[in-house]
Amino acid sequence: MDSLTIRETFLRFYEERDHRRYDSASLISNDPTLLLTVAGMVPFKPYFLGDAKPPHPRATSYQKCVRTNDIENVGRTTRHLSMFEMLGAFSFGDYFKQDAIRWSWELSTDHFGLDPDRIWVTIHETDDESERLWLEHTGVPLERIQRVGAPEGATRMDASDNFWSTGGAGPCGPCTELHYDRGPEWGEEGGPEVNGERYLE
């Protein structure tokens, strides 16, 4: 698949599940806490904070982003880019973890054709609910679900802590992520907690 096909497949998938499609907002953010747009959720931040009422309870978008909050990682890995496009699906107080997990699995395996036997999952170390939902609603086995928390002294490149934020004030919290095993030519096995290059988020 080329990038436009990936984008359209993603957006259509969520439109079919009652998400309103949004085009990319400007790279220059209206958020005074950010220099540039660093994530797909940035244009929707007023809805998450309750400062504005969303016109629809679900959204899907593609968003041009510039990496500023961890720019020191650009060039050190194959997964950190200076400018990139982020695809997103958002719920403003509508659905929550169960549907997000179920749909991300369906999109990844049925629509993008990723081999389910090569997908690993990370969850925040305290998130029992997400672990249960992955087991109940997808084909991922317990041995491919890893609980992660940042070890003392770790940088964001050393380890994922599965706690997402834009790096400043605003929406944040525990997250769960899918990782694809690119194979032994990418190095050590053991899941994304061991090798973030082989097991690509």
CATH classification at residue 128:
3.30.930.10
Q: Which of 45, 65, 95 is the last residue of a domain?
A: 95
Confidence band, pLDDT 50/70/90 cuts, at residue 156: very low
The radius of gyration of the chain's CA atoms, rounded to the nearest angstrom, is: 17
Confidence band, pLDDT 50/70/90 cuts, at residue 71: confident
Q: What is the pTM of this model?
A: 0.89
Helix (H), strand (E), coil (C) string for 68-128: CCCHHHCCCCCCCCCEEEEEEEEECCCCCHHHHHHHHHHHHHHHCCCCHHHEEEEEECCCH
Average pLDDT rounded to a whole number, residues 31-42: 90
Q: Which of 39, 62, 95 is the last residue of a domain?
A: 95
Indicate if 105 and 121 belong to the same structural domain: yes
Indicate if 119 and 197 belong to the same structural domain: yes
Average pLDDT rounded to a whole number, residues 156-184: 81
Indicate if 54 and 11 belong to the same structural domain: yes
pLDDT value at residue 159: 46
Indicate if 149 and 182 belong to the same structural domain: yes
Q: How many domains does the chain have?
A: 2
Domain of residue 122, residue span = 99-201
Average pLDDT rounded to a whole number, residues 36-65: 95
pLDDT > 80? residue 167:
no
Q: Which residues pair with 64 in a beta bridge?
A: 85
Q: Which of 69, 95, 121 is the last residue of a domain?
A: 95
Indicate if 186 and 132 belong to the same structural domain: yes
Indicate if 82 and 154 belong to the same structural domain: no
Indicate if 136 and 186 belong to the same structural domain: yes
Q: Closest Cα partner for 92 from 130, 65, 54?
A: 54
